[in-house]
Every structure is written in structure tokens, then in C-alpha cells.
């Protein structure tokens, strides 16, 4: 992966070890890295990190902060300094550069260390760390990408505005039909990748953000022939702060998915080569 992404790691060595060799991820979460991008999440961050490390004491957390003006980066540094077990790491990026770029920087950091699985998780509490084991169980059962899904049996939405649900369900239905996939929640941001997936798909060519970033990476994983599975999760609307979703992000997803769907159909009839 290219080294041009502007970021500075300030804490953490990323040494993930465990005595439990029963699966890809140990029962306490060891050998897994949870990447949490932040922008103005000062109040939410300590809660979510505490919940992650209570639910999975062996897991490591990388907080990727995009120079939050509310001081989230300072809070992250304090969390890392107060973690005597060395499980909390912080990356400071020089500008707000989008969710996708933050995750790519986090993936790069994790792939330079010995983590077997890298997880995406929001900082706002919408993704329950107490259900992280469901993603790990799927990976240990053979999944290359485990997606925490709101829209498979057992998945739930809590306190989400109806208009957001309609938009989300519509976006997922559109992507499923356009791309011809069986993934019901391809926009979901709670997911776990085996490192081999992130090493194989061409992350240096990913420019997508938000909704589109999640679709983009899942679609690349599917096209590469990897095992993608969905597990049910409970998605809870944030209590503090505001959503980062924008009309521009949604428009990007709409046009990109249409293009990928057309290219896929042309490829099937021999009129387009995948890059």
C-alpha cells in the first residue's frame, strides 16, 4: 500500500498475542484490531472504547482522529496513556478527509502489524461491542468478510428515524439489484475482514467515502471470490452528536453503484475487462 496518506501514529505498538489458538480470533478478541474513526466524538469515545475492551479484553483498538476541533484527539491520547495493557492506539490525521480515507489509513496501520482480523466500528455507539463476538464467530467459521447486518433475520434497528431507515433500506435494495448480490446490508459499517482480504483487494485505488466506501469494499471482496457472510446485529441510533451523512455521499453511492453494475454486466458478456 502506498505511504502517501497523511497520518501520524502517536501511541501503540500493535503487538497482538494470545495463548488461545482455537481460531483465527481468540475467544477474548486477541489477534483482532478494531478501527474506530473519529471526528467530534469527544463524549462518545470513552464509552465505546470501554465497552469494546470490556466485551473483548484481548482486542486492540486503533482510534483514527481527523483533527477533531472538539478535542477528541486529546481524549484518545488520554485513553491510550491510561491503558496499562497497551491495547489502545491512536492515529492523528492532519485534516478531515472522509470516513473511507480514515479506514484505509487504519487498515494500513493494522496490516503493518500482526493482526489476523481488522474490524470497522463507529464511535457513536450505534454498533454494539457486546455483539462483536458474532463477527468473530463468523470469521472463525470460515467467513473472509463478516458484515453486521440490520436487515437479515434477527437484525434490529433501535430509535432510528423512519426517514433514515427508508433511505438505508432503499440504498441497500438498489445496490443489491444493481450489483446482483445477495448481501442485504452492503452499506453496513460494522464488519470484520480477514487480513488476507485487505492484502488482496487493491486498496490503493479506493477513493470512495461513506455509504459508497462500504459498498465498494464489499463489492471488491465479492468479486475477488471471498466468502462474505452477514450476521444479525442491533443498530442503535446515536444519543450524542450528529450524523456525518450528507447528500453528496449518497449521490456518490448512487452513481458509483450504477457504474459498477453496468461494468459487471458488460464483463459477463465479454465487453468489459475488470481492472
Could you read off the pLDDT of 84-124 as tens digits, one per residue? 999 999 999 998 888 999 999 999 999 999 999 999 999 99
Q: Which helix (H) or strand (E) holds 35?
A: strand 32-38
47's CB contacts (< 8 A; 6+ apart) are 125
Q: Which residues pair with 63 in a beta bridge?
A: 36, 90
Give the phi and the psi of residue 191 in degrees, each rounded to 5: -155, 160
Evaluate if residue 213 carries a pLDDT over 80. yes
Q: Cβ distance 223 to 152 under 8 Å?
A: no
Average confidence (pLDDT) over 119-143: 97
Determine the pLDDT at residue 255.
Answer: 75
Dump the DSSP string for 120-150: E--SSS-B-GGGHHHHHHHHHTT-SEEEEES
Strands 191-194 and 145-149: antiparallel
Lowest mean pLDDT of 63-72, 211-220, 257-266, name the range: 257-266
Q: How far apart are CA 86 and CA 82, in angstroms?
A: 9
Question: Global pTM?
Answer: 0.85
Evaluate if residue 250 carries a pLDDT over 90. no
Evaluate if residue 226 carries a pLDDT over 70. yes
Q: How far apart are CA 9 and CA 108, in angstroms?
A: 11
Give the phi and the psi of residue 243 in degrees, each rounded to 5: -65, 150
How does DSSP classify residue 39?
S
pLDDT band at 11 (very low <50, low <70, confident <90, very high): very low
The CA dihedral of 192, 198, 204, 207, to the nearest 10 degrees, is -20
Could you read off the pLDDT of 140-191 as tens digits, one per residue? 999 999 999 999 999 999 999 999 999 899 989 999 999 999 999 999 999 9
Residue linked to cell 472463525:
140
Q: How far apart are CA 164 and CA 96, in angstroms?
A: 24
Determine the pLDDT at residue 185.
Answer: 97
Q: How far apart are CA 220 and CA 226, in angstroms?
A: 9
Determine the pLDDT at residue 239.
Answer: 67
Give the phi and the psi of residue 239 in degrees, each rounded to 5: -95, -25
Length of the chain: 275
Amino acid at each position: 500500500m502506498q505511504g502517501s496518506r497523511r497520518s501520524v501514529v502517536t501511541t501503540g505498538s500493535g503487538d497482538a498475542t494470545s495463548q488461545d489458538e482455537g481460531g483465527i480470533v481468540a475467544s477474548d478478541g486477541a489477534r483482532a484490531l478494531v478501527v474506530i474513526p473519529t471526528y467530534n466524538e469527544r463524549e462518545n469515545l470513552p464509552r465505546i472504547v470501554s465497552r469494546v475492551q470490556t466485551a473483548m479484553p484481548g482486542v486492540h483498538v486503533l482510534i483514527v482522529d481527523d483533527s477533531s476541533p472538539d478535542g477528541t484527539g486529546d481524549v484518545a491520547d488520554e485513553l491510550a496513556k491510561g491503558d496499562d495493557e497497551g491495547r489502545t492506539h491512536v492515529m492523528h490525521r492532519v485534516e478531515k478527509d472522509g470516513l473511507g480515507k480514515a479506514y484505509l489509513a487504519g487498515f494500513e496501520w493494522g496490516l503493518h502489524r500482526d493482526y489476523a482480523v481488522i474490524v470497522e466500528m463507529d464511535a457513536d455507539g450505534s454498533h454494539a461491542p457486546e455483539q462483536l463476538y458474532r463477527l468473530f464467530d463468523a470469521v472463525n467459521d470460515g467467513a473472509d468478510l463478516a458484515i453486521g447486518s440490520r436487515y437479515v433475520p434477527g437484525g434490529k434497528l433501535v430509535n432510528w428515524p423512519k426517514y433514515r431507515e427508508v433511505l438505508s433500506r432503499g440504498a441497500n435494495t438498489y445496490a443489491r439489484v444493481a450489483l446482483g448480490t445477495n448481501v442485504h446490508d452492503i452499506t453496513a459499517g460494522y464488519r470484520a475482514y480477514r487480513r488476507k482480504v485487505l492484502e488482496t483487494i487493491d486498496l490503493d485505488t479506493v477513493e470512495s467515502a461513506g455509504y459508497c466506501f462500504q459498498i465498494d469494499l464489499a463489492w471488491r471482496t465479492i468479486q475477488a471470490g471471498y466468502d462474505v457472510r452477514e450476521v444479525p446485529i442491533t443498530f442503535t441510533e446515536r444519543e450524542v452528536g450528529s450524523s456525518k451523512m450528507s447528500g453528496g455521499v449518497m449521490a456518490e453511492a448512487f452513481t458509483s453503484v450504477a457504474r459498477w453494475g453496468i461494468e459487471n454486466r458488460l464483463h459477463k458478456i465479454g465487453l468489459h475487462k475488470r481492472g
